[in-house]
Structure 1
Amino acid sequence: MTSPTTTDHLLYEDLLNRSRELSVLASCAGVLGWDEQTYMPKSGANLRGDQMALLAGIQHDRGTDPQLGEILQRLQDSPLVADPASVEATNIRQLRRAHERRTKLPRSLVEDLARTTSLAQQEWVNAKHAANFVHFQPWLDRVLHLKKQESACLLECLEDGQDHQFPGQAADATALIYDPLLDDYEQGARTAKLRGLFKNLREALSPFVLEIAEVAKSRKPAGDSVLRRRFPVERQRVLAESAAAALGFDFQGGRLDVTEHPFCTGIGPGDVRVTTKYDERRFDDAFFSVLHEVGHGLYEQGLPAEQWGAPAGESVSLGVHESQSRLWENFVGRGRSFWTYWFPVARRTFHDSLHDVSLDGFLAEINRVEPSLIRIQADEVTYNLHVLIRFELEQALLGGDLATADLPEAWNAKYEETLGVRPANDAEGCLQDVHWAAGLIGYFPTYTLGNVYAAQLHARANADLPGLEDGFARGEYGDLLAWLREKIHRQGQRFTPTDLIERAVGGPIDSRPLMDHLRRKYGELYGL
C-alpha cells in the first residue's frame, strides 16, 4: 500500500485549517442565533438579520474557495483515504460533499436566506403571540420561495447518485424539491422512503391510539391533572438543572436559559447552550423539554473535542441527534426507574402540589396518552402523528398543492382527521413551531427517525448493559452515557447515519422496536 507523501500531509493540514476557520465562523453565527432567541432586544432584529447575512456570506466565500476545491480534488484519491473509516478519510469525504453543495449555491441566495429567516423568526414570535397567521404569511411565502431556489441548486448533488443512501430515485416533482432539503439534515434520507415509514407508523399507531382512548374514557380523572397544579418556576429550574447534571450535562461547559421555543445550540467545545420554557401550571412541559435538550447537549459535549472544526468532530445528522434527545427524554426520563429516584426529590421540592400523589399516579400522569394540539407537549404514542401532519403539509407547500393562505385551515383539518382535535386559534395551530420561520423545511421527519433510532439504541443498550434500569433507580446514568459516547458520540461523521445506527444496534433500521416499546409500556399502563 502506498504511503501518504509529505505533500499529502501538507495539503491535509491546509484543509483542516480551512475547515476550522469555517467552524469558527459557524460558531459566531451560533452565538448570535442563540442570543436572538434568548436575550436580544426586539428592536435589534433588523441589525441581527444583517449580521447573520454577512456571516453567511463570508462562510460561503470561504467554503467555495476554488483553492479548497483543488485541495479536495488532489486528496480524494490519496493514500489518506485508503481506510474509509479513518479520521482523514472521514474529513476529506465529508468536506468534499459540503464543498460540492456550497458551490451550487450563489452567495446572494445564502445571504438572503440568512437575513430573511432571522427576520422571519422575530415576525413568527409576534404572530404567535397575536395568534394571527396572516401577519406571518408573507414571511412564510418568502422563506418557501428561497428554499425552493436552494433545492433547485442542490438537486444536482443528488442526481449524480453519490449521496443516495436509500435506494431508488424520487418519483415525483414534490420529492425532487423535498429530497435536497431532507438530505441537508439527514444524509441519504429520501421522500419515498419516509412516506413508507410514516405509512407504516400511521397504520400501527392509529388503532392503538383508539384502543387507549376507549380505556381512558373510564379512567378520566376528576378535575385537572396534578401536573397542572402550581409548580413555582424557580423550583422547576433547580430540579431541572439537578436532573440535567445527574444525566451528565457539564454546566462548566454549558448553560440553561429561557426561550419561546426550546432548543440546543452547540457553539463548540466547552460551550453548549440548552433552553426551555417554564410555566408554573405545566410542570411536565419544562422538565421534559430540559431532558430532551440535554440529550442533544450530551451529544454535543461527547463529540471528540480534539477533532473539533472538522467532520470527524461533528454530529452526523439531525435524526441521530434526535435519537439522543428522545432516548433521554422518553426512554429514560418517563420510565419508572428514573422516577423511583427522582419522585421523592420532586415531592420534597413541590410538597404542596405532590404530597398527596403516589409514584404510580405520577407515572400515569406523565405518560397519559391523549390526542393534543401541541407537538412538544405530545405523549410518546401520538407524537409521530404530529410529525406526520407536518411532513405532509410541508410537501404540499413546496409542491404547490397548498397555498400558504390555506395553511391554517389545512392544518386544522389534518389535526381533526388524524388526532380528533381542532385548534381554536393559529397559535395552537400552524404557528406553534419556529421551524418554517427558521427555514428548517425538511427537519420535521428527523424527529420520527430519532424515535425509531432511539428505540433500537435503548433496546441494544439494555441487552449490552444488564442492570441498567437498576442503576437508573439509584440515580446513576454513567453506564448508558459511556455506551452512547462509544457507539454514537465519539464516532463523529465516520459513518452515514444509517450505517452508524446499524453498527450500534447490530441490525438494520427498523420501526418495529419503537412499536414494541409503545405497546409494551402503554399496554401495561392502560391494561391492554
Structure 2
Amino acid sequence: MNVSAATASLYEQYVSEMQQIADIRYSAAVLQWDQETYMPAGGADARSRQIATLSEIAHSRFITDSMGSLLKSLSDRDDLNEELQKNISLSLYDYEQQVRLPASHIRDLSEASSKAFHSWMDARRANDFSLFEGSLETLVALKKVEADLLGYENHPYNALLNEYERGATTTLLDSVFAELQIPLKELLEKIRHCEQVDDRFLKQYYAESDQWQFSLALLERMEFDLQSGRQDKAAHPFTINFSSKDVRITTRIDEQDISNMTWSTIHELGHAHYEQGLPAGQYGLPLGEYASLGIHESQSRLWENNVGRSMSWCEHFMPLFKHHFPSQLGEISASKFYRAINKVEPSLIRTEADELTYHFHVIIRYELEKELIGGQLNTKDIPAFWNQKYLDYLGIRVPDNRQGCLQDVHWSHGSFGYFPTYSLGSLYAAQFFHAAKGAISDLEKQIRSGNFRDLLTWLNQSIHRHGRRFTSEELCKQLCGEGININYFMQYSTDKYRFIYGFQTEEGIL
C-alpha cells in the first residue's frame, strides 16, 4: 500500500509529537530511577515535585484536542499500512482512556506516589505500618477516583487491572486462580510428606562485594547487553528503561543469603531482555512498547525459573559459583545445589518464595487489593487482613509488618492491579518455554553449555519485536496455538519436583 504525501506528513507529525512526549516521560523516569538508587533522603520533597511536574506536562500534551483530532484524522485514512495503522489505533485507544483523566489528577497521583515511596521506606526501617498508612490512604483514594474516571463494568478494580493487563477482569482472575489452586495444593501436599531438601549452605556469610562481582559475571554470561544497560542496588529490585538502548536493572544483596541476589538479578534480567529487544525504531510509539505486564512478567519468570532454576543452568554455573565463593560452595555438587535452590516451603517474603507457593503470595495481594479498591477493606485494616490470609493460605504467622504488608514497593507507586500479572506471567512463562523447547530441539544442552543466545533470539523474534501489536492472549495463541493454560505450568512443576522430592504421580497432565 502506498502512503500518500498528505498521510505521510500527518503521520510524521504524529511521530514527532509522540516522541517528544516520550522524551518527557523518560526524563521523569530518570528522576525516578535516581530517587530509588542514589538520591539523598533530603531531596525527597523537591523530587516529588519535579516528577509530578514532568508527568503532568507529558499527560497534558497527550490529551490535547489537537492530538485527538490528529489521531482521529489518521485513523480515518485508508492508505496506512498495517504497522502504521496499529500504532494509530493503539494511540487512539490510549488517548480515549487518558483523556478521561484530568491533568490535575496525574499530578496529584505522581506527587502522592513520590511522597508515599519515602513514607514506605521510613515505615520499613521503623517496622511501623502507621508511618505509611496516611500516604497509602491518599493513594487508594486517588486510585478509586481513577477507576471512576476510566469507567468499568462490575468492579472498580477492573479499571485498574486493565491498565496493566488489557482485558483482564476480576471474573477472569477469580477463575484462573480457582482453577490453579486445586492441582497446586495437591502438589504441595505431596511435597509436604517428603523429606525436605537441605539448603543451609545457601544461608551463610557471602560478602556483598563478592556477590556484586558474581552478579555482573552472571549478567554478562546470560547475554545482558551492558552497552545498553547497567545494574545498581535498590531496596526493592526493579527494572526501568529510557529507551531500548538504555535499560537499568537493580538488585538487592543479603550477605546471609546468596539466593536473594542471584534470582532477583536473573528476574530483572528477564525484564531487561524484553526492553532491550523492543524495536528501537519505534521509540515513543506503541509498537516500541511491551505488550502487557503479564507478558513482561512471563519474560522475567521464564529466565528466573524455567532457565535459572533448571538442572542444566546449575551444571553450567557451578564452576562460576565456586570461583567466587570457594569456601561456601567448594564442596557442593550441581545436583545438591539444584535441589537447594528449588526448596519448596511456605515463607513470608514474596520475592524469595519458591515458584509453587509464590502463587499464594500473589493471590493474597490480589484479594486484598480487590477489597481495598472495592471499599470492603480500610487501609488501617491491611496488616490484620494480610496476617490472616498468610495463616489461611500458607499456614504461617507473620511476625512483623516489615516481613508482612510493608515488604513490597508497588503500593507506594500507586501500582494497584499489578500483582496478578506475576501469576499470569508464571503461567505464560511455562507455556512459552514449552514452545521454545519445541522450536530449539537441544535447548537444555545449550543452557548446560552456557549458550543462551538461541533462546534470547527466539524470544526476540517471537515476542519482543512485536511490541504492543498483540494482546497477551493473541500473542499466546500465535506462539502456542491456544490461550493461557495452567496445565503447562503444572506439568513443568510436577516433572521438576517429583525428581527433587522423589514422589510418584500419575503421568500426563497435558
TM-score band w.r.t. shorter chain: over 0.9
Alignment of 1:333-482 (within 5 A): 333-482=308-457
- Structure 2 counterpart SS, 1:149: helix
Deviation at 1:269, TM superposition (A): 3.2
Deviation at 1:129, TM superposition (A): 1.2
Counterpart check, 1:88 vs 2:84: yes
Deviation at 1:61, TM superposition (A): 1.2
Counterpart check, 1:127 vs 2:123: yes
Picking from 195, 210, 227, the partner of 2:189 is: 210
Against the structure 1 CA distance between its residues 57 and 370, is the aligned structure 2 distance closer, same or farther, given a 3 Å change threshold?
same
Q: Give me the whole-angstrom Cα distance separating, in 2, the residues matched to 1:281 and 1:80.
A: 61
| Alpha-carbon displacement from aligned partner over 1:202-246 (angstroms, at most 9, x marks no partner) | 12212221221111xx3364xx71101121112211221112112
| Alpha-carbon displacement from aligned partner over 1:367-422 (angstroms, at most 9, x marks no partner) | 00000000000001111110000000001111111111111011001001100111
For structure 1, the residue ranges without an aligned partner over 5 or more in a row are 159-169
- Structure 2 counterpart SS, 1:19: helix
Alignment of 1:214-225 (within 5 A): 214-215=193-194, 218-219=195-196, 221=198, 225=200
Aligned amino acid, residue 23 of structure 2: V
Q: Give me the whole-angstrom Cα distance separating, in 1, the residues matched to 2:229 and 2:237.
A: 15
Deviation at 1:266, TM superposition (A): 1.1
| Alpha-carbon displacement from aligned partner over 1:81-107 (angstroms, at most 9, x marks no partner) | 5x6xx2201210111011111110011
Instruction: Say if 1:30 and 1:267, in contact at 8 Å, map to a contact too.
Output: yes
Instruction: Say if 1:22 and 1:62, in contact at 8 Å, map to a contact too.
Output: yes
Q: Give me the whole-angstrom Cα distance separating, in 2, the residues matched to 1:13 and 1:141.
A: 43
Deviation at 1:319, TM superposition (A): 0.6
Q: Give me the whole-angstrom Cα distance separating, in 2, the residues matched to 1:114 and 1:48.
A: 11
Aligned amino acid, residue 185 of structure 1: Y
- Structure 2 counterpart SS, 1:507: coil
Deviation at 1:80, TM superposition (A): 4.2
Aligned amino acid, residue 16 of structure 2: N
Picking from 256, 263, 267, the partner of 2:231 is: 256
Alignment of 1:184-263 (within 5 A): 184-215=163-194, 218-219=195-196, 221=198, 225-263=200-238
Instruction: Say if 2:197 and 2:339, in contact at 8 Å, map to a contact too.
Output: no
Deviation at 1:474, TM superposition (A): 0.6
Instruction: Say if 2:197 and 2:343, in contact at 8 Å, map to a contact too.
Output: no
Picking from 120, 143, 148, the partner of 1:147 is: 143
Q: Give me the whole-angstrom Cα distance separating, in 2, the residues matched to 1:385 and 1:74.
A: 47
Alignment of 1:264-303 (within 5 A): 264-303=239-278
Q: Give me the whole-angstrom Cα distance separating, in 2, the residues matched to 1:478 and 1:74.
A: 43
- Structure 1 counterpart SS, 2:411: coil
Instruction: Give % identity.
Output: 39
| Alpha-carbon displacement from aligned partner over 1:4-44 (angstroms, at most 9, x marks no partner) | 43221111111111110111111101101110100011111
TM-score (norm 1): 0.93
Q: Give me the whole-angstrom Cα distance separating, in 1, the residues matched to 2:32 and 2:270.
A: 20
Aligned amino acid, residue 435 of structure 1: H
- Structure 2 counterpart SS, 1:40: coil
Instruction: Say if 1:368 and 1:379, in contact at 8 Å, map to a contact too.
Output: yes
Aligned amino acid, residue 98 of structure 2: R
Q: Give me the whole-angstrom Cα distance separating, in 2, the residues matched to 1:497 and 1:62.
A: 28
- Structure 2 counterpart SS, 1:429: coil
Q: RMSD of the TM alignment (CA)? A: 1.2
Deviation at 1:280, TM superposition (A): 1.3
Residue in structure 2 matched with residue 330 of structure 1 by the alignment: 305
Picking from 113, 117, 129, the partner of 1:117 is: 113
Moved over 3 A (4+): 218-221
Instruction: Say if 1:303 and 1:490, in contact at 8 Å, map to a contact too.
Output: yes
Deviation at 1:77, TM superposition (A): 2.5
Aligned amino acid, residue 229 of structure 2: G
Against the structure 1 CA distance between its residues 68 and 276, is the aligned structure 2 distance closer, same or farther, given a 3 Å change threshold?
same
Instruction: Say if 2:140 and 2:373, in contact at 8 Å, map to a contact too.
Output: yes
Deviation at 1:505, TM superposition (A): 2.0
- Structure 2 counterpart SS, 1:369: coil
317-326 or 397-406: bigger deviation = 397-406
Instruction: Say if 1:256 and 1:276, in contact at 8 Å, map to a contact too.
Output: yes
Q: Give me the whole-angstrom Cα distance separating, in 1, the residues matched to 2:191 and 2:213.
A: 34
Deviation at 1:490, TM superposition (A): 0.6
- Structure 2 counterpart SS, 1:296: helix
Instruction: Say if 1:4 and 1:78, in contact at 8 Å, map to a contact too.
Output: no
Counterpart check, 1:79 vs 2:78: yes
Q: Give me the whole-angstrom Cα distance separating, in 2, the residues matched to 1:501 and 1:246.
A: 28
Aligned amino acid, residue 368 of structure 2: L
Picking from 144, 148, 158, the partner of 1:179 is: 158
Deviation at 1:302, TM superposition (A): 0.7
Q: Give me the whole-angstrom Cα distance separating, in 1, the residues matched to 2:43 and 2:189.
A: 48
503-512 or 92-101: bigger deviation = 503-512
Instruction: Say if 2:117 and 2:412, in contact at 8 Å, map to a contact too.
Output: yes
Instruction: Say if 1:272 and 1:297, in contact at 8 Å, map to a contact too.
Output: yes
